[in-house]
């Protein structure tokens, strides 16, 4: 899904939440008046009766806020949350329709109930219950929609991100590779190795051009002697250092927002205890669910580092050096 559609989904979620909150406030005002009249008709003082329905409304508002935050984090609310919403809504509905169900005060089967009054007083209470469930369902749906936005292409994190082959020395856009670039030699070295124009050339040497001066520096086609070392073939290809703060490939869009906080927490715990951050610590510090904490914990343990490969760190892999004196013919000298 495109980034524009993700922004539209977030805007829709905010607008829908405002509308449902306005309707919920109006429904709570209606139920507050009915519940207060119901309580005062039973001899309850007015200042106490006026507190009954606001208590139920505050409980519903708190549950709705917590459920919305859990839905944004991808966590399913517990069963007690649903129980509290339905019990508070049912209690408010019963107190609103009490006078319409039993107008004569005789508790039992409502034979003398007023259906029109029941419908009138029950509609705002049922609307309040439906709003609590609708807000939670909308938030869960739009959260899943946001998680599917901007999917990252699954790539292999072990693949090198830079060129590993030899660099073309004829390419003027980049610096030449020191292993394959021609060696720069000075005039003194050329004087020691090649005859000058004034010296007599050997009999079998080709004729030399004496019309121009000898150049001070020339580029030879000889490769660098360091590239002919036998251990160069066993060395791994050079790779650019990875960006440790960048979210790894394959991470969800919602998890990528929490990646800097998770990385900072993991670095702090490693510096303090020497151990990586646990799943329990990620859940409590970042307020994550179990599944998201496991995903981020796995990515933290498999993120690229700038440490050298284990083979290069093992001193046993280094070949011993023979310090025996060698003669020009390659045979050891006699003691």
What rounded mean pLDDT belongs to the chain? 68
**How does residue 310 score in pLDDT terms, banded at 50, 70 and 90?**
very low
Return the pLDDT at 183: 52
Can you tell me the mean pLDDT for 59-63?
Answer: 82
Return the pLDDT at 138: 77
Question: CA dihedral in degrees (275, 266, 239, 312; nearest 10)?
Answer: -10
Whether the Cβ atoms of residue 185 and residue 220 lie closer than 8 Å to each other:
yes
Can you tell me the mean pLDDT for 219-239?
Answer: 55
Can you tell me the mean pLDDT for 215-234?
Answer: 52
Can you tell me the mean pLDDT for 101-118?
Answer: 79
- Confidence check: pLDDT of 202 > 70: no
In angstroms and rounded to an integer, the radius of gyration of the C-alpha atoms of the chain is 40
Return the pLDDT at 163: 45
Pairing of strands 218-219, 184-185: antiparallel
pLDDT digits (tens, 9 = 90+) for 239-284: 655 555 566 666 666 667 677 878 888 888 888 888 888 887 787 7
pLDDT digits (tens, 9 = 90+) for 139-193: 777 777 666 654 443 344 444 444 444 444 444 445 555 555 555 555 544 444 5
Output the 3-class SS for the chain. CCHHHHHHHHHHHHHHHHHHHHHHHHHHHHHHHHHHHHHHCCCCCHHHHHHHHHHHHHHHHHHHHHHHHHHHCCCCCCHHHHHHHHHHHHHHHHHHCHHHHCCCCCCCCCCCCCHHHHHHHHHHHHHHHHHHHHHHHHHHHHHHHHHCCCCCCCCCCCCCCCCCCCCCCCCCCCCCCCCCCCCEECHHHHHHHCCCCCCCCCCCCCCCCCCCCCCCCEECCCCCHHHHCHHHCCCCCCCCCCCCCCCCCCCCHHHHHHHHHHHHHHHHHHHHHCCCCCHHHHHHHHCCCHHHHHHHHHHHHCCCCCCCCHHHHCHHHCCCCCCCCECCCCCECCC
Contacts of 335 (CB under 8 A, 6+ apart): none
Q: Closest Cα partner for 60 from 123, 153, 125?
A: 125
Domain ranges of the chain: 3-105+113-147, 253-306
- Confidence check: pLDDT of 207 > 70: no
Angle in degrees, CA 21, 92, 116, rounded to 5: 100
**Lowest-confidence range among 58-62, 80-84, 313-317?**
313-317
What does pTM read for this prediction? 0.40
What is the per-residue burial (b if ≥16 Cβ within 10 Å, else e) of 259-279? Answer: beebbebbeebeeeeeeebee
């Amino acid at each position: 899904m495109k980034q524009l559609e993700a922004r539209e989904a977030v805007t829709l979620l905010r607008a829908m939440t405002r509308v449902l909150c306005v309707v919920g406030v109006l429904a709570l005002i209606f139920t507050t008046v009915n519940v207060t009249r119901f309580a005062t008709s039973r001899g309850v003082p007015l200042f106490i009766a006026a507190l009954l329905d606001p208590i139920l409304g505050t409980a519903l508002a708190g549950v709705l806020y917590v459920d919305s935050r859990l839905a944004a984090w991808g966590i399913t609310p517990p069963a007690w949350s649903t129980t509290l919403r339905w019990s508070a809504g049912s209690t408010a509905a019963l107190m609103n329709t009490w006078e319409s169900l039993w107008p004569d005060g005789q508790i039992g089967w409502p034979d003398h109930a007023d259906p029109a009054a029941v419908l009138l007083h029950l509609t705002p209470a049922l609307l309040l219950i439906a709003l609590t469930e609708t807000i939670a369902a909308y938030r869960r749906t739009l959260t899943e929609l946001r998680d599917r936005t901007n999917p990252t292409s699954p790539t292999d994190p072990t693949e090198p991100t830079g060129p590993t082959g030899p660099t073309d020395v004829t390419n003027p856009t980049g610096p030449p590779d020191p292993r394959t670039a021609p060696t720069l030699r000075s005039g003194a070295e050329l004087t020691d190795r090649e005859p000058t124009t004034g010296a007599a050339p050997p009999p079998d040497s080709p004729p030399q051009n004496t019309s121009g001066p000898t150049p001070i520096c020339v580029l030879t086609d000889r490769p660098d002697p360091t590239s002919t070392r036998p251990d160069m073939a066993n060395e791994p290809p050079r790779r650019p250092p990875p960006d440790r703060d960048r979210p790894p490939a394959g991470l969800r869009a919602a998890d990528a927002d929490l990646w800097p906080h998770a990385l900072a927490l993991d670095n702090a715990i490693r510096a303090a205890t020497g151990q990586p951050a646990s799943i329990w610590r990620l859940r409590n510090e970042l307020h994550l669910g179990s599944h998201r904490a496991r995903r981020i914990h796995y990515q933290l343990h498999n993120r690229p580092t700038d440490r050298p490969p284990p083979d290069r760190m093992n001193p046993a892999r280094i070949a011993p050096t023979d310090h025996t004196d060698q003669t020009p013919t390659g045979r050891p000298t006699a003691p």
